[in-house]
A and B are shown apart, each in its own frame.
Chain A
Amino acid sequence: MAKAELMDFDKALELFEPVLGFEVHVELNTRTKMFSDAPNFFGGEPNTNITPVDLGLPGSLPVVNEQAIRYSISLGLALGCEIAPSSRFARKNYFYPDLAKNYQISQYDEPIAHDGNVEVELPNGKVFQVSIERAHMEEDAGKLTHVGGATGRIQGAEYSLVDYNRAGVPLVEIVTNMISGAEHDAPELAKAYVSTIRDIVVSLGISDAKMERGNLRCDANISLSPRGSGKLGTRTETKNVNSLRSVERAIRYEIQRQAAILAKGGTITQETRHWHEDTGVTSAGRPKSDADDYRYFPEPDLLPVEPSEALIAELRAALPEAPAIRRRRLKEAWAFTDLEFQDVQNSGLVTEIELTVAAGAAPAQARKWWTGEIARLANLASVDASSLVSPLHVSELVAMIDNGELTDRLARQVLEGVIAGEGSPAEVTKSRGLVVVSDDGALIAAIDEALAAQPDVLEKIRDGKVQAAGAVIGAVMKAMKGTADAARVRELVLERAQQ
């Protein structure tokens, strides 16, 4: 793929003002699909989690999942939206082989929720108000696999295979109004916005919200407006953005790409662009055109949704606290410094840490592991840390360290095993034979050896320079290949000095 010319980010911001917009699709974790009673579960054997409805068989009819309605209303309320007293489904007509009926049941002019607001806090502490245009319900499509050709991508494929297991999975699409004024913070705002949406749906418990699994998908609209022109630029819509860090990168890339074109007097094509995680670029998709005539009309097989005041009140009362309030509460509860909490927020791991603490870990330990080793491994693998390991496993790992079953160093090895899918921390510890040596005899032998190499250490300790013990402890830990409990080694060294 030819690499597009990019303008330096700061220069681009000097010349242009970025205007953003987001469409975030949230997959609801209901037990069944949006319009059929097939299990809401995909993956596994292709074309097995389907009914005649999901396959769009002639004669089949959709029926709305009540839980999906409740979840959608809750989400709408959490986004500060008004819940429509009457909303309805519409058919969006277009042909595509992953769309079983060749129309998608969605909502058009009467969405279930509209006119909301989300408070988004950036890493630098700035707070943005993102205005929500609407949140509407729809169904997901099936999954295409392209076969033949070199890339496994659609271009050059010989044929494609369709699995409809995902067809009919309930989605809520959250659409923002245009966001201007983000300026240099635009990429960070994008990431923080999606992260906030993720926090909201996780706190509501209505979605698994794993971006890498497609539970949460972000289409990012961006246009550049020449400074002082007062005119809106032509926008592109970047799809296929599958992680928080990609959201940030994709926005940054599009700003730089569009700026380079505009600065040369070129024009931006209104089109869909695809983000490529591996190469960090976007590529052109289909141009938007008159051909996009979706012929929306009210879905005649479904009836209007008219939630009662009582239902809305019930769901409103059950809402979890807003992320901004939650942040304040957690910061206090965890007793983190401003800097520490900022660090946690920037990592996008507040929820993971909260769940880890809820599972029993001390806040400091939870923070240390998530923002330290786990974040490091995630960065190496270019994935989100939350996708690597579950909070429950991290909490188990911390507990094993606390009660002396693991040292920090062993714990890192265990973590690798857990990430590799070898099982829970206890299982990995067992299967890899990672045991802390608590036999004092073996430790004393190693200490003796270390002291022999550094004869002046005991003297220094006796003189009150306790920190001198560190050199011996380090040597012992090294000799024991990390299987020693550092605290016990320290005790033994200090005992020896007093003899």
Chain B
Amino acid sequence: MADLTRLTAAELSQKLQAREISSVDVTRAHLDRIAAVDGDIHAFLHVSSAALATAADVDTRRGDGEKLGPLAGVPIAIKDVLCTFDMPSTAGSKILEGWVPPYDATVVRKLREAHLVPLGKTNMDEFAMGSSTEHSAFGPTHNPWDLDRIPGGSGGGSAAAVAAYEAPLALGSDTGGSIRQPAAVTGSVGVKPTYGGVSRYGAIALASSLDQVGPVTRTVLDAALLHDVIGGYDPRDSTSLKDPWPSFADAARTGARDRSLKGVRVGVVKQLNGDGFQVGVRDRFAESLEVLAAAGAEIVEVSAPNFEYAIAAYYLILPAEASSNLAKFDSVRFGLRVNPKGGGTVEDVMAATREAGFGPEVKRRIILGTYALSAGYYDAYYGSAQKVRTLIQRDFDAAFERADVLISPAAPTTAFKLGEKLEDPLAMYLNDVTTIPANLAGIPGMGLPMGLAPEDGLPTGIQLMAPARADVRLYSVGAALEALLEDRWGHTLISQAPELAVAR
């Protein structure tokens, strides 16, 4: 039998429906792959002991003639920020080590209802704070393209899992780029949907007004198939949108089939490409523009002057909301408890627990957020940041007057070395320069491969952005661009990743 881990979710879906393969076969192949390579990659924090049983159940249902969704029987990895009632959910933090929630996140429930097979939980920067997965309390994830390099973050575990063929699909969460930036540096595909397009219920909150759950895959079509499963209104999330959504998979299939961008206005954001971006990233981006133009797209330059303030606004809004969201980790109802030496009051126990349970980046952002919300500073910091948010939305509104989709590199550089930026928080924050504006404005964005940087042979990613609620454009344009680039290269980008050593 061919290596089932090399197939896309769409291909697996087809073979499962044709009963050429069973879900147990597919699931076992991925569990074997995890056993073989995850010692080096460390994409998983927990591997499900129920996966094979779940797969067998799907096979039985299919055998019984039950009508199943397109992804039924396809395995999936779940970012550890999402609550699962049958697996620990730690958000990469020691303070939640071993915590098993009494409920499923809405997206996880939807996966189960669509009969996908959860493989396990993936590594992440603690509480999704970071761009490298180095802030995980359980050790970093390694980039499958180069084990000495970061896989991006915060969702490095999910991106590395799909890039290393440990899972065909994964779920991520994106607060400032945590799905799109890891996609860029691992040669995979990641989508941050419109804010409210996918339920946040059961996603351990980092910054409530920025967080969004989305698909992490190796192809645009797979992302679309997964988005079709997890999207839609959830009454448990007040910010959930009631909009009817079109089939993203249909849009992706049409885009890939037609390979035409005739009449599509593609806006290049002036402020998201320039000095400070790696040469190979800029070259590949220029090449992608040529490909788009050759396919009939009308390339226009748009200016978003207030993007200059995006990172500053983001690093006020995020820590402020996070400082409040993370207050619940207090040793009373769940999670770690640390008793100070010689006992102490409940206040002392809370403070000792949070000191021991949170890593340095989490503490840094909590203190920063506490400062930003303090009486006397609120207007200058948090209040001003919320105004910048308005200005950034206006910039996007103006840009989308002139363009149907916007594009930029998905990350300013290729994957950097583990440890390289760990001691320089500000440099780390700059990794998200291209992705943050979309979160501030709530619009959807996609990261997908645009080739290897000549200077280091590592993957680069392009970012597509669409107006709020127009996620479907990402899939039609993204699938077309993906197909055109692969036609040009003669292969997929991910196929160029080095083979990993296999543990026995």
Verify whether A and B have any Cβ pair under 8 Å: yes
B332 near A63: Cβ-Cβ < 8 Å: no
B96: nearest chain-A partner, CB-CB: A58
**What 1/0 mask marks residues of chain A from 290 to 308 whose CB sits below 8 Å from any chain B CB?**
0001011100111100000
Chain A residues closer than 8 Å to B378, beta-carbon distance: 295-297
With contacts A59-B201, A61-B236, A62-B238 known, is A297 near B375, CB below 8 A?
no
Interface-facing stretch out of B97-105, B460-468, B490-498: B97-105
A55 at interface by CB-CB < 8 Å: yes
A95 near B205: Cβ-Cβ < 8 Å: no
A58 near B238: Cβ-Cβ < 8 Å: no
Query: Could you tell me the distance in whole angstroms from the C-beta of B124 to the nearest C-beta in chain A?
Result: 14
Query: Could you tell me the distance in whole angstroms from the C-beta of A2 to the nearest C-beta in chain B?
Result: 24
B327 near A93: Cβ-Cβ < 8 Å: yes
* B-facing residues in A33-82 (Cβ within 8 Å): 52, 55-64
* In the bound complex, CA of A56 to CA of B334 (Å): 10
A295 near B373: Cβ-Cβ < 8 Å: yes
B238 near A293: Cβ-Cβ < 8 Å: no
Main secondary structure of the interface of B (DSSP, over half): loop
Q: Tell which of A57, A103, A160 touches B333, judged by Cβ atoms closer than 8 Å.
A: A57
* In the bound complex, CA of A91 to CA of B324 (Å): 8
* In the bound complex, CA of A403 to CA of B231 (Å): 68
A144: nearest chain-B partner, CB-CB: B346
B327 near A162: Cβ-Cβ < 8 Å: no
With contacts A59-B105, A303-B239 known, is A162 near B324, CB below 8 A?
no
Query: Could you tell me the distance in whole angstroms from the C-beta of B167 to the nearest C-beta in chain A?
Result: 22
Q: Tell which of A63, A102, A162, A295 touches B328, judged by Cβ atoms closer than 8 Å.
A: A102
A100 at interface by CB-CB < 8 Å: yes
Query: Could you tell me the distance in whole angstroms from the C-beta of B244 to the nearest C-beta in chain A?
Result: 20
Q: Tell which of B83, B332, B375 touches A59, judged by Cβ atoms closer than 8 Å.
A: B83
* B-facing residues in A293-328 (Cβ within 8 Å): 293, 295-297, 300-303
With contacts A93-B327, A295-B370 known, is A59 near B204, CB below 8 A?
yes
Chain A residues closer than 8 Å to B328, beta-carbon distance: 56-58, 100-102
* In the bound complex, CA of A291 to CA of B237 (Å): 33
Using a Cβ–Cβ cut-off of 8 Å, how many residues does chain A contribute to the interface with B?
Answer: 30
A162 near B332: Cβ-Cβ < 8 Å: yes
* B-facing residues in A100-157 (Cβ within 8 Å): 100-103
Q: Tell which of B204, B320, B375, B382 touches A58, judged by Cβ atoms closer than 8 Å.
A: B204
A300 near B235: Cβ-Cβ < 8 Å: no
* In the bound complex, CA of A93 to CA of B327 (Å): 8
Identify which of A57, A58, A61, A100 gathers the most chain B CB atoms within 10 Å of its CB. Answer: A58
Identify which of A56, A160, A303 gathers the most chain B CB atoms within 10 Å of its CB. Answer: A56
* B-facing residues in A270-304 (Cβ within 8 Å): 293, 295-297, 300-303
B324 near A93: Cβ-Cβ < 8 Å: yes
B333 near A55: Cβ-Cβ < 8 Å: yes
A404 at interface by CB-CB < 8 Å: no
A102 near B209: Cβ-Cβ < 8 Å: no
* In the bound complex, CA of A56 to CA of B333 (Å): 9
A97 at interface by CB-CB < 8 Å: yes
* In the bound complex, CA of A161 to CA of B149 (Å): 48
A64: nearest chain-B partner, CB-CB: B238
Q: Tell which of A60, A64, A97, A302 touches B332, judged by Cβ atoms closer than 8 Å.
A: A97
Chain A residues closer than 8 Å to B200, beta-carbon distance: 61
* In the bound complex, CA of A36 to CA of B380 (Å): 34
Chain B residues closer than 8 Å to A61, beta-carbon distance: 200-201, 205, 236-238
A103 near B324: Cβ-Cβ < 8 Å: yes
A89: nearest chain-B partner, CB-CB: B238
B236 near A300: Cβ-Cβ < 8 Å: no
Identify which of B203, B208, B332, B375 gathers the most chain A CB atoms within 10 Å of its CB. Answer: B332
23 A-B contacts (beta carbon < 8 Å):
A52-B102, A57-B83, A57-B333, A58-B83, A58-B91, A58-B205, A59-B83, A59-B103, A59-B105, A59-B201, A59-B202, A61-B236, A62-B238, A63-B238, A64-B238, A93-B324, A93-B327, A97-B332, A296-B373, A297-B373, A300-B209, A301-B208, A302-B238
**Which 5 residue pairs are nearest across A and B when measured between Cβ atoms?**
A102-B327, A295-B373, A300-B208, A300-B209, A59-B202
**Contacts from A to B (Cβ < 8 Å):** 52, 55-64, 91, 93, 95, 97, 100-103, 160, 162, 164, 293, 295-297, 300-303
**Contacts from B to A (Cβ < 8 Å):** 82-83, 89, 91, 96, 99, 101-103, 105, 200-205, 207-209, 235-239, 320-321, 323-324, 327-330, 332-334, 346-347, 350, 370, 373-375, 378, 382
- Further contacts, 17 of them, CB under 8 A, given A95-B327, A100-B328, A293-B374: A56-B328, A57-B101, A58-B83, A59-B83, A59-B202, A59-B204, A62-B238, A93-B327, A102-B330, A103-B327, A295-B373, A295-B374, A296-B373, A296-B378, A297-B320, A300-B207, A303-B238
